[in-house]
Copies of this chain bind each other. A is one copy, B any other.
Amino acid sequence: VKRPLSSKSDSSGVSNSGESSKESSRCSTPVLDADRTDRLRDKMKRRIESGDHWFSLEFFPPRTASGAVNLISRFDRMGSGGPLFIDVTWHPSGDPGSDKETSSMMIASTAVNYCGLESVLHLTCCNQTKEKITAHLNKAKRLGLKNIMALRGDPIGEDWVEEDGGFNYATDLVKHIRCEFDDYFDICVAGYPTGHPEAESYDNDLRHLKEKVDAGAHFIVTQLFFRAETFLRFVKDCRAIGITCPILPGIFPIQGYHSLRQLVKLSKLEVPEEIMQVIEPIKDNDAAIRSYGIQQAVEMCKVLLASGEVPGLHFYTLNREVATIEVLRQLGLWAEDPRRPLPWAVSAHPKRKVEDVRPIFWASRPKSYIYRTQDWDDFPNGRWGNSSSPAFGELTDYYLFYLKSKSPKEALLQMWGEELMNEGSVYEVFTNYITGQTNPSGHKVMCLPWNDDALAPETNLLKDELEKVNRRGILTINSQPNINGKPSSDPIVGWGPAGGYVFQKAYLEFFTSSENVTALLQVLKKYEPRVNYHIVNVQGKNITNAHEMQPNAVTWGIFPGREIIQPTVVDPVSFMYWKDEAFALWIEQWVKLYEDESPSRMIIQYIHDNYFLVNLVDNDFPLDSCLWQVIEDMFALLDSPRATQEEGSQS
């Protein structure tokens, strides 16, 4: 009987018995998630092969800094739905390649670096020198951008004349990118299902598209259209002349009468009669038009996806989220429960692709962590510890706009108190943040200096205990429950590949008074070696029972066919850097809300100057966390006059 065995390892480089043992026997790098290492073209290829439809989202750069802060929040929210990529348009009049927070370049860079989104930066070449274009591309590469949408762009001025040696067509730009950067960038080009408005003819336009693809483009995104058959005929025509790359339909959910009119005017598209007939009668009813737009887009997308010609949908969001998300939800493409590759927000910068362990301290401030480690040349991989790595970035220069609070000063005052009476007022702010209750002035506390967002779902698991201790001046800024082997698909604490199990040690981090710390230290003696602690004040006075160099892994996962992943650690060294940031946030975000010499200001300043930052790890992860008992014991000790006397006599 012939054995029906096929050898899967023919391509693995494993030598047969005869030729063994001369080369290295150990693998060079651990295996990474394909999603973090693959190029966009490869991701598309995989999704096409598996028949797994995707979507992508187009945004334009904002006009103001606060618009930028909003857009970045939107990236986070819409990123959670699982787009394959987002793209950011190039606004030649908005200084698009500059370092301004509103530039196309910086918005796309933020999406990649801080929001972890695969991003495509548009680039137009019209009226640009080759040097300028090359400089833009070099900068994009340096910032971690890997994909370019190559466009001609609208000529500035009325009469456009071809320049010799300049960029006259997107094809020239595609060729230039390939020539100067070889295979580095994935390139997207634009397709026009009804022909480019300036093209001589539809066929002529198709030939131009073929030239762009032949010059080295990897995929096509089309101009918007209103009928599925428009797109499907276009794809058929593209295939007929030999265009084989992915062609993504540009979807525009109608969101309002006026925006539709304006878009039509700009793009020189005709809105089909059947759509105008519905819209005209309801043109003053925004809600009705939006609702129709969603329904129309859903119907069209269904036809497109069912055709088998459409691997993914590209949405022109106009920087709005409601309509697009609703369409995606109805299509079943919105990932309600996005799988997290790691328990923290990863960056999509290519040099961070091996990063798989971080200190827990920045859990609520991942963008700050990414910013402060952006100059690191190598990232920890597998374990925290590499003496060749550079230091954390300085605190002084990182208060960039997108690391500041999203909320304006007035909102912060409403949340954190126009006027504080005493330290107890601060305890109340923390407590209200945990409970979600409104404060006496009727406002909900939606954020704290250390937590720019609402409570994480995981933290919600600890809500009751957190409320209790915050009320008494244990001002918690970070915590996680212990987890003893939940499936990696768990909607709250899961992360990583399917079929695995995730674990956590209970963690609690808080500010508290020096009186509390004195009692806490007494209590902690009973919990050796179960509980590890670091206790530090703003001057850097540091009390710990942990090893001075050894990190404590507090989150880890076990997956099929893999080494252990331990993505979060408590480590003594980076805690001292975090401590600077954590104390500085009292000043930067809170003290500065109040006038000099005001009692409110002096209260926060007092806390900053006198409180300790404490972190506690319960190493016994299979048992119920003992950290709440530690705090209770501390209060019990403080409440017992005899114990306090004893303590006093020791000091």
**Chain B residues, CB < 8 A from A495:** none
Select the stretch in A84-92, A439-447, A557-565 that faces chain B. Answer: A557-565
A573 touches B25 (CB 8 A): yes
Q: Which chain B positions have C-beta within 8 A of A546?
A: 561
Report how far A8 CA is from B395 CA in the complex, Å: 25
Asked whether B383 lies within 8 Å of A563 as measured between CB atoms, the reply is yes
Q: How far is the CA of A546 from the CA of B8 in the complex (A)?
A: 9
> Does A391 count as interface, using CB distance less than 8 angstroms?
yes
Residues of B within 8 A of A514 (CB): 3
- Residues in chain B near residue A651, CB distance under 8 A: 1-4
Q: Which residues of B contact A550 (CB under 8 A)?
A: 27, 30-31, 561-563
- Distance between A396 CB and nearest chain B CB, rounded to angstroms: 10
Instruction: Identify which of B7, B28, B501 contacts A543 (C-beta below 8 A).
Output: B7
Question: Contacts A391-B23, A651-B2 known; A548 to B383 CB distance under 8 Å?
Answer: no
Inter-subunit contact B9/A539 (CB<8 Å) = no
11 sample A-B contacts, Cβ–Cβ < 8 Å, listed by A number: A8-B542, A17-B576, A24-B391, A27-B573, A30-B550, A529-B561, A552-B563, A553-B563, A553-B564, A556-B558, A563-B569
The residues in A between 547 and 592 inclusive whose CB is less than 8 angstroms from any CB of B are 547-553, 556, 558-564, 566, 569, 571-574, 576-577, 579-580, 583
Q: Give every chain B residue within 8 A of A388 (Cβ-Cβ).
A: 24
Q: Does A99 contact B (CB under 8 A)?
A: no
Neighbour of A389 across the interface among B17, B24, B382, CB < 8 A: B24
Residue from B25, B394, B577 within 8 A of A392 (CB atoms): B25
- Chain B nearest CB from A560 CB (Å) reads 4
Cα A552 to Cα B577 in complex, Å, equals: 35
> Is B499 touching A530 in the complex (CB atoms < 8 A)?
yes
Q: Whole-angstrom distance between the alpha carbons of A517 and B387 in the complex?
A: 48
A502 to B504, CA, bound (A): 15
In the bound complex, do residue B20 and residue A576 qualify as a contact, i.e. CB atoms below 8 Å apart?
Answer: yes
Chain B residue contacts of A66, Cβ below 8 A: none
| Closest chain B residue, CB of each to CB of A534 | B9
- Pairs of residues from A and B, 4 with the lowest C-beta to C-beta distance, nearest first: A16-B540, A28-B387, A12-B548, A4-B651
Given known A-B contacts A562-B552, A564-B556, A647 and B4 have beta carbons under 8 A apart = yes
- The answer, yes or no, to whether A265 is at the interface (CB within 8 Å) is no
Residue of B at shortest CB range from A545? B8
A17 touches B619 (CB 8 A): no
Neighbouring B residues of A262 by C-beta, 8 Å: none
12 additional contacts (CB under 8 A) given A3-B651, A17-B580:
A3-B514, A5-B543, A15-B576, A17-B576, A20-B577, A27-B551, A30-B385, A382-B383, A484-B485, A485-B622, A547-B561, A553-B563
For the complex, is A6 an interface residue (Cβ under 8 Å from B)?
yes
Distance in Å: Cβ of A148 to nearest Cβ of chain B: 32
State the CA gap A313–B387 with chains docked (Å): 42
Given the known interface contacts A16-B539, A17-B538, A549-B27, the answer about A619 and B385 at a Cβ–Cβ threshold of 8 Å is: no
| Chain B residues, Cβ within 8 Å of A394 | 21
Q: Does any Cβ of B come within 8 Å of A503's Cβ? A: yes
* Nearest chain B CB to A333 CB, angstrom units: 25
Q: Is residue A272 within 8 Å, beta carbon to beta carbon, of the partner chain?
A: no
Query: A54 near B: Cβ within 8 Å?
Result: no
**CB-defined contacts of A640 to chain B, threshold 8 Å:** none
Inside 8 A of A542's CB, which chain B residues have their CB?
7-9, 12, 14
B384 touches A27 (CB 8 A): yes
**Which single residue of chain B is at the shortest CB-CB distance from A583?**
B17
